[in-house]
A and B are shown apart, each in its own frame.
Chain A
Amino acid sequence: MMRCQIVSSSRVGRAPRAVFFLLASLVAFGWLFVGGVAAQGGGELRFCLRSEPKTFDPLKVEDDASESIRYLTGGVLVRMNRQTQALEPGLAQSWEVSKDGRGIAFKLRSGIAFSDGTPFSAEDVAYTVQQLMDPALHSPTGDAFRSGPGNVETKIISPTQISITFPAAVAGLDRLFDQVAIVSAHSPKKEMAVLGPFVVADYKAGASVLLKRNPNYWKSDAQGRKLPYLDSIELDIQPNRDVEMLRFKRGEIDLINSLDSEYFDKLAATSPQQVHDAGPSLDSEQIWFNEVAKAPIPAYKRAWFRSQNFRRAISEAINRDDLSRVVFHGHAQPAVGPVSPANKFWFNGKLKAEPYSPDTALKTLQADGFRLDSGVLKDRDGNAVVFSIITNAGNKSREQMAVMIQEDLQKIGVHVNVVTLDFPSLIARMTQTFDYEAILLGLTNVDLDPNGEMNLWLSSSDNHQWNPEQKTPETPWEAEIDKLMRAQASSADAAKRKEAFDRVQEIVYEQAPFIFLINKNALSAVSPAVHGAHPVILHPQTFWNAEQLTAGK
């Protein structure tokens, strides 16, 4: 929401000159004083949410807007430092994961209260965990903890000590608590009583959310000053990116998260100090072919799509450097596989992005009986290689990538029809009718741990996009991926988990069920009025350290 101040200038000219100077000096002193204080602390931070928050209940969060509010208002037991990617103590002073990976014990801080004054204790943690795991609540955050059938046991040892035992091992158990905002078991304000740095003070549906400093927030800085520094955060609900950009340029908002490369360059041209490129993000863009047995596509096309050589040849014929340079103006990196190099621990460093080589692609295709005939690639039965790639209409970068891939593949005689569909139609084809040949879409990763990708890699999963819901794995390599993913999920040994997931990445690279194209860079913009911002690649890029930010000229 925009705030305007109208300054009246009536009758200033009639005041005696000495009085005018005195007033002017007072105003100037006042401005300097207020400005000085703002530079040290306080102030209001303003930025946009790109959609209406669907809930303020931290256990029911599933959309980005609600996630941002949960991050700013929720108190968590452990917090992952978005810059170092290491876990840091939050409401818990210390914690210990059991050897079998099923249990975790927390030692909590004492003397902490919720925003409404209700004291915080182990009882609140037990209540939160029970709520989280209640099947009736359908908590998306809770899904990550569901490792096997059975109930979760919580044992309150003392008001500051609690142990939680899950029915089966949960990989990366401590990291998952970064997403669990503790709710009060006793507060009459329910989920609106929070333990985070800010509290929801006002909500105007469709317009804005106002967060104010939580007076009971427990954290202080190194000098002993109470955090957060900011007085308030105003979040305007603004789905239109163009308007968001304009408002940033006018100084009406202070931050933009996830900036498009086009906007980034425009802003960089005029105000280079305001833009930040934090390097490759966890997000990727990829193509996959339809390998579903019951899909309504010709059998000869299904045979192409199920051929490892065909998929690898297509991958080899795509110029990823050009995609990064042209579509994303250099603010993207050719993708290697399912894990971005930004994921420091889990990325398999042995793998390199597929080099662009149409000649190698043609040789790979020849191994499967394909041949070039007057510039048209044909299979061994004489069928011309023609397929469609669908992507969602309105996404400019995906449409541009599809058109560039169309030209790249033309060089090896493959004719591609680019089709843009509205998103619901695309999803219906992708998940219900399976009436498509290839899809170009993106993958947003919010979790560094491979457990967050279980639903993607298990062949039985409905998100195993190229061939979902398999009763038994249809290929040996999918069976191996299933085995490796289950093995890493049930192990508490980080080295063993890493070994298993490295192999998964190698299989995906070799088999190319997803042809990974690029990893977008994490681009953001921060106004010079904001102090203390250090944009990073992980969500929320610009305000991950909101409690230490200040806003003021």
Chain B
Amino acid sequence: MLVHMRYFASLREAIGIDAETISLPQGVNDLQGLRRFLAARGEVWSEAFAEDKALRAAINQELVKASASLRDQAEVAFFPPVTGG
């Protein structure tokens, strides 16, 4: 399964990239799995995606719950809680 990742704000700065396409290994089919997969990259990734880090997620540009499942070719975004207005 391919997913098109987007990262924003302090998260983007911490990991140093704003977008990438990832081919997910078998068994990673939801956001929690994806988060663990990204954290396992080590170094800045393990801290940025640590379990206690408050992150929000969107799939195809809609806010979703932390447990949402993934579909092939989805646009998946992770970002810190929003601070507009």
- Please determine whether chains A and B interact with each other in the same assembly: no
